[in-house]
Structure 1
Amino acid sequence: MILRFVILCALFLFIEFYSYQAFRTLIKIRWVLVTYQVVSLLILLFIIYSFSQVDRSVGQTKQFMFTTGLMLLVYVPKIVLTLVMFGEDIIRIGASILNYFIYNTPRKEMMPERRKFVSQIALGLAAVPFLSLIYGIFEGKYNFKVFKQTIYFPDLPDEFDGFKITQISDVHSGSFDNPEKINYAIDLINEQESDMILFTGDIVNTHAKEMHPWLETFNRIKDYKYGKFAVLGNHDYGEYVTWPSEKEKDENFAEIKSLYGKIGFDLMLNENKYIQKGADKIALVGVENWGANFKKAGDLNKASENLHKDDFKVLMSHDPSHWEYEVKKHPKNFHLTLAGHTHGMQFGIEIPGYFKWSLAQYIYKQWAGLYEEAGRYVYVNRGFGFHAYPGRVGIMPEITVIELKKGENVA
C-alpha cells in the first residue's frame, strides 16, 4: 500500500514537472508561473482530499463525479504535455551526447535549450482533450443518438421479417441532473416505430432510491405491441458499496428488481418466453448479469430450458464478455445477443461506418456496435446514462433500433 502511494506521488510529480516546463518555456512573467503552481497544488490537494472522503457505504455521489471530472479535465491535458515535453528531453539528451562525444562542444553549450515551438505544439495538443472533456461534461453526456442496425438471418421466421426492437441499456439514474434532457431522450425512444423494447440492465448506480425521482419520466415510455422486457446489470446488485447488514443489501436488491416493473418492464431472471406473431414465434431469453470480471449470476442453461436449437432466439445479457466466453459457441444457438455495460468508456473517437476507437477495446473484445462470428451476432449498446466521469466524449449516449430481416447478410 505504501509502495503504491509512493509510486502514485512520483507519477503526479513527474506529470506536474513536465507540464510546468511547457508553460515556463512560453511565459516569463514570474507571478503568472507562481499562480499556475499554486493553483495546480490546490487542485491536486482538493482531488486527494475528495477521494479520501469517499464513503463506501454511500457509493458514487455528485461530489465524487465532480472530482472525477475535474481530475480528468486537469490531468489528461497535462499527460499530453508531459509526453511531448519528455519526448523533447529525450531528443535534447541525445543531442547533448552527440555534442559531447562527437563535436566536442563546451559543457555549458552541450544541452540544447528547450524550443518555444515545441511548447506551443504541446499546449495546442493538450487543448484538444481539455476542450473535449469540457464539452463532454456540459453537452456530450446528454447528446442522445439513435443508432439503427439491420441484421439479416436466413432462418428468421417469415412473420418476423422487418420486426423492430428498440434497446436501451445502462441508465444509471443516480447520475442524472437534467430532467429536460432525460424527457427529450424518452421522446426519442417513443418516436421509434418498434415492435418491442428491451432494457439490458443497470437501472441505478447502487441504490434503488436513485430511480425514485425518475419513475414518472420513464413511465412515459409507451407500450409496445410485443412487450417491454429487461434484465439486470452488474450495478443492480448493489455490490460496490459496504452495507450495514446483508438484510439491507437484500432489501435494496429486491426494490431494484421491482423498479423495472414500476416503469412497465417485465424483468427476466434466467428465463425465456416465446413471442408469437401470426403463425410464427421467436424465443426471447433473459439472463442475470454474467461478466468475465464481474458478478456471474447469469445461468444460460437455466434461461434456455425447454428451448430447441432450431428456435430463433434473441438473448438479453448485460455484459458482452458473456457472449465471448459462453454464448457464441453455446449448442442452443443464440442468434442475436443484446448487451451493454461498457459505455464505450464514455470516451473515444467514432466516425460511424468508418472508424471507432476507445480504451474500452483493450478491455472488451466487443465494446460498441455489432459483432458477428459464425452467423451469431452480439450488439453492444453504448449506454443511455453515464457513470463516474460525468460526461461523454466521442462515444455518445445511445438508443438502438434493430430491424430483423430474413435473408443473407450482405456485409
Structure 2
Amino acid sequence: MRNHKWLLEASQIVLQYFRWLFLLIFCIILYAKFIEPNWIEIKTLQLTLPHLPAEFNGYRIAQISDIHRDRWMTVPRLRRIVHLVNEQHPDLVAITGDLVTRNLPQLIPSLKPALEQLTPRDRTVAVLGNHDHENDTQAIIRTLKQSGVFDLNNHIYTLKRDNATLYIAGVDDVGMGKARLDLVLQQLPPQGAAILLAHEPDFANTSAATGKFDLQLSGHSHGGQIRLPFLRPLILPPWGEKYYAGEYQIGKMLLYTNRGLGMTGLHLRLFARPEITIITLASPRLSN
C-alpha cells in the first residue's frame, strides 16, 4: 500500500514537471516566433580605421543585411526597417546581400517601393548573397538600380570629402562562386582607406590577406538565428561558421558580421535578434 502511494505521488510530480516543461517550451516558441523576430536592435559602434582620412572622421554607415523578402518579411515590415534606418541619419547605407529568399522571384519588384525611400547623405550600396543568385539575379540588379542603389558587386564606389577619398568595395557572392576579388583589387588605388562588402563573413581570411582593406562588412549567418545563450550556434551556413556575429580582428583588418533582419527555415529567432548596425568611423589622426 505504501509503495503504491509512493508511486502515485512520484508520478504526479513527474507529470507536473512535464507540464511546466511543456509550458516553458511553448512560451519559448511563442517568443521566438512573434517577439524576437520583430525586436530589431539598433547596434551602434565606433571603429577606428588605420588609413581613414581625418575628413571622414565621424562618417556614419548603416549596415543592413539578409532582408530575405518573403511571405514573412512583408512590405510593411520592410518599410519599418527603412524608417528605422533613416532615423539614424547615415551618410551611407550598406546592404550585404540576401535581399530575397530563394525561389521567390515574384517578390523582387516589391523591394523597390521601400528601398527607394532610403535617404543616406551619400548613397545606398549593395552586394548580392547566395539566395539572390537562387532567384532571378538580373531582376534583382535591375530593381536595385531602379531604387537608386549602387550595384557594388565586384566594383568600387569612391567617396570624396574635399581632397580625401574613401573607397567602398564589394564582391559578388562567394559561396556561389561569383566573387572576383581580383577585379576589385585592380580598381583600387595603391593607397587609401577601403571598406569591403562581402555577404559571407568567412571570406575575411582571404580579403584580410591582401592588406588592402581596413574593414569588411558581412551578414549571411543570421547570428545563428536559433541559439542558446553563451553557446556557439549549433547550425551555421558554409562560409559563415568562423565569424558568425559581431566584431572580429583578422590580421590588420576589422570584420563586422551583422545578424540580419529576415529569416529562413523555421522562421524563428532565439538569442539572435535582428539587427541594424550603425558604424561611426574614426580616423586615428583624431582619435589619439
Normalised by the length of structure 1, the TM-score is 0.61
Structure 2 counterpart of 1:284: 168
Deviation, 1:253, is 2.1
Provide the secondary structure at the position in 2 that maps to 1:327.
helix
Task: Give structure 1 regions of 4+ aligned residues with deviation exceeding 6 angstroms.
Answer: none
**Aligned equivalent of 1:274:** 158
Output the aligned Cα RMSD: 2.6
Equivalent pair of 1:272/1:304 in contact (CA under 8 Å)? no
Residue 327, structure 1, aligned to residue 207, structure 2: yes
Q: Distance in 2 between matches of 1:148 and 1:360?
A: 27
Which position in structure 2 is the counterpart of 1:256? Answer: 140
Residue 67 of structure 2 contacts residue 262 of structure 2 at CA under 8 Å; is this kept in 1? yes
From 213, 218, 221, give the equivalent of 1:342.
221
* Paired letter, 1:320: P
| Structure 2: runs of 5 or more not aligned | 1-7
- Secondary structure of residue in 2 paired with 1:403: strand
- On the 8 A contact 2:225/2:268 being kept in 1, the answer is yes
1:313 is matched with 194
The structural deviation recorded for 1:345 is: 2.6
CA distance in 2, matches of 1:114, 1:279: 79
Q: Distance in 2 between matches of 1:319 and 1:119?
A: 46
Q: Does 1:209 align with 2:112?
A: no
Gaps of 5+ in 1: 1-27, 29-112, 240-251
Structure 1 CA distance, aligned partners of 2:252 and 2:15?
51
Instruction: Give me the whole-angstrom Cα distance separating, in 1, the residues matched to 2:56 and 2:276.
Output: 21
Q: Secondary structure of the residue that 1:367 maps to in structure 2?
A: coil
Deviation, 1:386, is 1.3
SS of match in other structure, 1:283: strand
The 2-side partners of 1:147 and 1:286 are apart by 22
Higher RCO structure, 1 or 2 (CA under 8 Å, sep 6+): 2
What is the match of residue 248 of structure 2?
Answer: 371
Pick the aligned partner of 1:166 from 57, 62, 69.
Answer: 62
Corresponding letter in the other structure for 2:43? F
Tell me the CA shift for residue 209 of structure 1: 1.8
Look at both structures and tell me which one has the larger radius of gyration over its CA atoms.
1
2: CA distance, partners of 1:160 / 1:307: 18
Match of 2:179 in 1: 298
Return the alpha-carbon distance in structure 2 between the equivalents of residues 300 and 122 of structure 1. 54
Corresponding residue for 1:387? 264
Q: Does 1:145 align with 2:22?
A: no
Shift of residue 370, structure 1, vs aligned partner: 0.9
Deviation at 1:307, TM superposition (A): 2.0
1:220 aligns with 2:220: no
Q: Which has the higher strand share?
A: 2
User: 1:154-182, CA deviations, whole angstroms, 9 ceiling, x for partnerless residues?
Assistant: 33111111111001111111233554443
Letter in 2 for 1:329: A
Structure 1 residues 378 and 128: CA distance shift in structure 2, 3 A: farther
Partner of 1:406: 283
Higher mean C-alpha deviation, range 361-370 or range 340-349 = 361-370
Amino acid at match of 1:187: H
Partner of 2:139, secondary structure, is helix
CA distance in 2, matches of 1:260, 1:376: 29
Structure-2-length-normalised TM-score = 0.86
Aligned pair count reads 276
> CA contact under 8 A between 1:174 and 1:211: conserved in structure 2?
no
Which structure has the highest helix share of the two? 1
Name the SS for the 2:248 alignment partner: strand
3-state SS in 1 of match to 2:270: coil
